[in-house]
Amino acid sequence: MNYIDNIAFVILLIIGVGFFVKNIKKLVRNIQLGKEVDRSDNSSARWKNMAMIALGQSKMVKRPIAGILHIIVYVGFIIINIEVIEIIIDGIFGTHRILSFLGGFYSFLIASFEILAILVLVSVTVFWIRRMVLKIPRFWNKEMKGFPKNDALYILYFEMVLMSLFLIMNAADNHFQELNVGNPISQYIAPLFHNLSFTTINIVERTAWWLHIAGILVFLNYLYYSKHLHILLAFPNTYYANLNPKGKLTNLESVTKEVKMMMDPTIDPFAAAPEGAEASIPEKFGASDVTDLNWVQLMNAYTCTECGRCTSSCPANITGKELSPRAIMMKTRDRLEEVGENINKNGKFIEDGKQLLSDYITPEEIWACTSCNACVEECPVNIDPLSIIIDLRRYLVMEQSAASQELNSMMTNIENNGAPWQYNQMDRLNWKDE
Amino acid sequence: MNVPTMAEMMAQGKQPEVLFWVGCAGSFDDRAKKITKAFVKILNKANVEFAVLGTEESCSGDPAKRAGNEFLFQMQAMTNIEVLNAYEIKKIVTACPHCFNTLKNEYPQLGGVYEVVHHTELLKSLLDDGRLTIEGGQFKEKKITFHDPCYLGRANDVYEAPRELIRKLDVELVEMKRCKTNGLCCGAGGAQMFKEPEKGAKDINIERTEDAIEVKPDIIATGCPFCNTMMTDGVKVTNKETEIEVLDIAELIANAQDL
C-alpha cells in the first residue's frame, strides 16, 4: 500500500511521455509529407547558425525588450527543468529531495532556480501586459483572433502557474525552510503557512509538488497543439535553414531540362520519349498544396511561434495589404494539420477538394509581396515565408497562367523584345547618343 | 562619352576589365539613363577599360522569376549566358541590384559563373586603388540619407560600400529609422514595379518616403533604378520636390565633379 504514490507517479509519467512521443511521431510524419530538399551540406555553418540563433538567441535581441525578457524565460525554462530530474527520481523511488546530498551545491542550484523562477514570473507578466494592456499591434493583427490569441495567453498562464507551484512547493517544505539555505525567494512565501498545522503544510507541499510535475507533463503535451513547439523546433529549424544569400531563389531543375531541350537544335521534338522519362516529369510546377512544398518549409510552419516580427516589418502589411508573412506560416500549418488528420483517419490522403492555395492563402496575399526579404531577416528562428510565396506564384503562373494582365504584358515584353517594357532590343544602346 | 561594345572589343582582339551590364531600366527608362551615363562618365574618368553588350543584352529575367515564371527566367538566363560565355566574360558590374542579384546568385547554376559586383562596390574598389577620387563639390555639407535597396542590402549583405562613397563627398550622412538590415522596401521589388499594388491603406513608396522626410535630408541617395523611381514619385506625392532631390550614388559622384 505504501507504494501507491510511486505507482501513480510512474503511470502519470508513462502516460504523459507516451502521449507526447505519439504526437511527435505524427509531427515528424507530417513534416515528411514535404518534398525532398538537400540541406546536408556545410554542417559547420549549420551548427554555428544553430548555436548562435537558437541556443544563443542572437536574432531575438534585435528587439531588446522582448529579446531580453525572452532570454530570461528561456534560460529559466532550461535551468529550472534540471529540477525535474530530481522530481522524477523522487517520484519513482518515493524519496524526498534525493539530490540534497550534494549539500552546498544543491542549495546553490535550488537558490538559482528560485531566483530564475521569480524572474520568469516577472517576465511572463510583462509579456502578458505587452499583449493585453499595451496591445502591441503585432499581437493584434487579424490572424491573431480566436485560438492563436488564446494559445499565447494559455502559455503565459501555464508558465505563471508552474513557477508559482515551484516556489510554493519549496516554501511549504518545512525541513527545507528550516535549513534556510537555497531559499532566497521561498523564505518570503513560507511565513504564509506558519499558522497552518504541520499536516496541512505537508498537504500543501505535496499538492504543489504533484501539480507541478503534472503541469509540466500537461504543458509538454500541449506543445503539439500549440505555437509553442518552437522551444523544440527552433533547433532543427535553424540548423536546416537556407544558407544561401537571401536574394537567391532556387532554379527549378525540371524547368532547366525543358529549357535546355527547347534551346538545343539537335533534339528531335518528335522523337519518342526515352525509357523512364515519364517518371521524371514533375506532377506540377510550383506549389498549390502543402505536399508540394519541401519538408523544411513544412518544418518552418510548425516552428513559427507567431511572434509577428515578420508581419510588423513587411512593407505590404505595414501599408494595409492583405499579406501577412506570419499568416502564410499559420495557414500552411493549418492546412498541413488538416492533411495529417485526413491521413490519420483514412490511412492515406483522400482528396478533400481543398488546397493551400485559394482555400487558405489567397492570390491577393501572395501578389502583394515585394520579395524584400524583411520577413526572412526578422524571423528569430530563420523561417522563410518568402520561399512559400514564390512557390505559390510559380504554380499560379506556370500551371494556371493566372498572373494579372499587367504582369502578363511585362512577361510578353520580355519574351518578345528582351525588356519588361515595349522597347525594341535594337534601341538598347540609344542612350549613348542621347 | 566612350562606350565600347563587346563586339567592337572583340573585333580589336581586346578583352575589357569589366563588362558593364546596363539593364533594362538603365537602357530605356529616361530617369535611369541618367544614372547609366553618370556611371559611364566615372568609368571613363578613372580610365576603366569596360564594354557593354549593347543590343546583345537582354533582360536578366529577374522580374519574370519573381513573378513566378521560371520558364521565362531560365530562357532569358540561358540566352544571356550563351552571349556572356561566348565573349569569355569574367567580371560584370551593374547599377541595378536586381540584375546584380540574379547574375550573381542565379546564373551560376545555369552555367554562367562570373564575378558580379554592384556599381557602388566597383566605385569603392576604384577609390581604394587610388584610381578614383571623390570630392564633395556642390554637395559639400549637404544632408544625405541612403535608401538601402533590398536586393543589394538584405539579399546580398552589401551595406557599407554605398555609405563609404557617400561619406567621401564631405556630406552629413543621416540614417533613417529603418535602415540597413531593417531597411524598408521602396515597393518595387518582386515584379511590383510592373503592376498596380494590391488594395491597401497606403502605397509602400509613400511610407518609405516619409521615413526619409523624417530625417530632413537635402538628398535621398539610391543605388537602384527602381528605388529611384519609387522615391522620386514619393517625393512628388508628398510635395517635397523643391526640398528633396533623389539621386543615385553614381550621379552624386559624377555631378560633384561636373563630369
pLDDT of residue A318: 97
Does the beta-carbon distance from B194 to A246 stay under 8 Å? no
Query: Shortest CB distance from B204 goes to which of A370, A403, A411?
Result: A370
Residue among B57, B59, B231 with most chain A CBs within 10 A, to mutate: B59
Please give, rounded to a whole number of angstroms, the shortest distance from the CA of A370 to a CA of chain B.
4
Query: Shortest CB distance from B55 goes to which of A286, A370, A426?
Result: A426
* pLDDT > 70? residue A110: yes
Nearest CA in chain A to B186: A315
Q: Rg of the Cα trace of chain A?
A: 28
Domain B134-256: assigned CATH number? 3.40.50
Nearest CA in chain B to A247: B155
Does the beta-carbon distance from A256 to B74 stay under 8 Å? yes
* pLDDT > 80? residue A421: yes
Domains B6-125 and B134-256 share a fold: yes
Report the amino acid identity of residue A78.
I
* pLDDT > 60? residue A279: no
Please give, rounded to a whole number of angstroms, the shortest distance from the CA of B141 to a CA of chain A.
32
pLDDT of residue A282: 65
From chain A, pick out residues whose CB is under 8 angstroms from the CB of B44: none
* pLDDT > 80? residue A326: yes
Q: How confident is the model at residue A267 (pLDDT cuts 50, 70, 90)?
A: confident
CATH of B6-125 among 3.90.1150.10, 3.40.50.1860, 1.20.81.30, 3.40.50.300: 3.40.50.1860
* pLDDT > 60? residue A278: no
Residues 116-135 of B with CB under 8 A from A: none
* pLDDT > 80? residue A287: yes
Query: Quick one: average pLDDT of A380-401?
Result: 97
Average pLDDT across chain A, whole number:
94
Please give, rounded to a whole number of angstroms, the shortest distance from the CA of B103 to a CA of chain A.
10
Please give, rounded to a whole number of angstroms, the shortest distance from the CA of B170 to a CA of chain A.
30
pLDDT of residue A276: 59
Q: Residues with Cβ < 8 Å from A241, sequence gap 6 or more? A: A46, A49, A296, A382, A384
* pLDDT > 90? residue A68: yes
Q: How confident is the model at residue A233 (pLDDT cuts 50, 70, 90)?
A: very high
Helix (H) or strand (E) holding B248: strand B245-248
Per-residue pLDDT of chain B (259 residues; tens, 9 = 90+): 899 999 999 999 999 999 999 999 999 999 999 999 999 999 999 999 999 999 999 999 999 999 999 999 999 999 999 999 999 999 999 999 999 999 999 999 999 999 999 999 999 999 999 999 999 999 999 999 999 999 999 999 999 999 999 999 999 999 999 999 999 999 999 999 999 999 999 999 999 999 999 999 999 999 999 999 999 999 999 999 999 999 999 999 999 998 8
**SS3 per residue for chain A:** CCCHHHHHHHHHHHHHHHHHHHHHHHHHHHHCCCECCCCCCCHHHHHHHHHHHHHCCCCHHHCHHHHHHHHHHHHHHHHHCHHHHHHHHHHHHCCCCHHHHHCHHHHHHHHHHHHHHHHHHHHHHHHHHHHHCCCCHHHCCHHHCCHHHHHHHHHHHHHHHHHHHHHHHHHCCHHHHHHCCCCCCHHHHHHHHCCCCHHHHHHHHHHHHHHHHHHHHHHHHHHHHCHHHHHHHHHHHHHCCCCCCCCCCCCCHHHHHHHHHHHCCCCCCCCCCCCCHHHHCCCCCCCCCHHHCEHHHHHHHHHCCCCCHHHHHCHHHHCCCCCCHHHHHHHHHHHHHHHHHHHHHHCCCCCCCCCHHHHCECHHHHHCCCCCCHHHHHCCCCCCHHHHHHHHHHHHHHHCCCCCHHHHHHHHHHHHHCCCCCCCHHHCCHHHHC
Does the beta-carbon distance from B155 to A367 stay under 8 Å? no
Q: What is the ipTM of this complex?
A: 0.96
The residues spanned by each domain of chain B are 6-125, 134-256
pLDDT of residue B258: 87
Does the beta-carbon distance from A318 to B36 stay under 8 Å? no
